[in-house]
């Protein structure tokens, strides 16, 4: 089936089966068409697409200037397209579900109020190297909605500063691509430039956040 034929079939499915509006169906079709054209240019067959391919596609869109709101809408459309591909047995699972939608605002855990988070961050002694590290660590945790373990396991190779995206390995070894905001960017930049080199002392350490010994920080070590 050609790309146009597949997209027309997808559009019809949205209207007749999913009962979406014509506007929604057209939006989802357009988002999916852009992705399929990218696959065609990259010579990637639809049946061979991987999660890594999807993440690279989103990062590429981000670096080309796509806004978070636009990407969030496109991911919604592609998730619907992925569901369609599963029902048509082209994919065995909906890979698009492993992509997190970019958010304009910070994701704050419900167990803490904004005031409590501000108080926690303000209590950190930012005059010490470990305090600067903790400031960056907790800012990233709360701005991205990370688990403590996810922040501890975050690899420096999976932190894309220019694109302001992190690749997180969560439960079940699932990967998520999550954007972070300006405050997290500023604090991580200071940590990377001024503090991390002092702690690692030239050692090659894969984890982004390290302890006073210059090795990857543990979940238990976060609260010391």
**Which residues touch 155 (CB under 8 Å, ≥6 apart)?**
206, 207, 208
114-222 folds as hpI Integrase; Chain A (1.10.443)
- What whole-number distance in Å separates Cα of residue 161 and Cα of residue 59? 11
Per-position DSSP letters for 44-81, written without gaps between them: --GGG--HHHHHHHHHHHHHTT--HHHHHHHHHHHHHH
Q: Model confidence over 97-121: pLDDT tens digits?
A: 887 656 544 444 444 455 655 666 6
CA distances from 98 to 33, 51, 80, 161, 195 (A): 19, 7, 13, 21, 33
CATH class of 3-98: mainly alpha
Q: Decide if 3-98 and 114-222 have a common fold.
A: no
Q: Indicate the domain borders of the chain.
A: 3-98, 114-222
Is pLDDT of 223 > 80?
Answer: no
Q: Categorize the per-residue pLDDT at 2 as very low, low, confident or very high, splitting at 50, 70 and 90.
A: confident
Inter-residue contact 175 to 168 (CB < 8 Å): yes
- Would you mind telling me the total number of residues written for the chain in this entry? 224
- What whole-number distance in Å separates Cα of residue 79 and Cα of residue 53? 15
Across the range 72-86, mean pLDDT stands at: 90
- What whole-number distance in Å separates Cα of residue 220 and Cα of residue 223? 6
**Which residues touch 157 (CB under 8 Å, ≥6 apart)?**
206
Is pLDDT of 123 > 70?
Answer: yes
Inter-residue contact 133 to 191 (CB < 8 Å): yes
Q: Model confidence over 32-60: pLDDT tens digits?
A: 999 999 999 999 999 999 988 888 888 88
């Amino acid at each position: 089936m050609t790309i146009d034929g597949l997209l027309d079939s997808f559009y019809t499915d949205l209207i007749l089966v999913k009962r979406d509006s014509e506007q929604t169906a057209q939006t989802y079709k357009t988002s999916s068409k852009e992705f399929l054209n990218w696959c065609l240019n990259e010579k990637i067959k639809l049946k061979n697409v991987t999660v890594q391919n999807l993440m690279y596609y989103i990062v590429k869109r981000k670096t080309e200037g796509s806004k978070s709101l636009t990407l969030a809408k496109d991911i919604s459309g592609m998730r619907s397209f992925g569901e369609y591909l599963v029902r048509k047995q082209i994919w065995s699972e909906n890979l698009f579900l492993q992509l997190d939608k970019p958010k304009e605002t910070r994701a704050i855990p419900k167990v803490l109020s904004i005031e409590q988070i501000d108080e926690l961050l303000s209590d950190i002694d930012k005059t010490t190297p470990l305090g600067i590290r903790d400031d960056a660590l907790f800012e990233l945790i709360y701005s991205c909605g990370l688990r403590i373990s996810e922040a501890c396991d975050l690899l420096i190779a999976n932190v894309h500063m220019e694109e302001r995206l992190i690749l997180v390995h969560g439960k079940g070894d699932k990967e998520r691509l999550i954007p972070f905001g300006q405050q997290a960017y500023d604090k991580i930049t200071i940590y990377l430039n001024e503090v991390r080199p002092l702690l690692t002392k030239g050692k090659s350490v894969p984890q982004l956040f390290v302890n006073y010994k210059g090795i990857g920080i543990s979940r238990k070590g976060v609260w010391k």
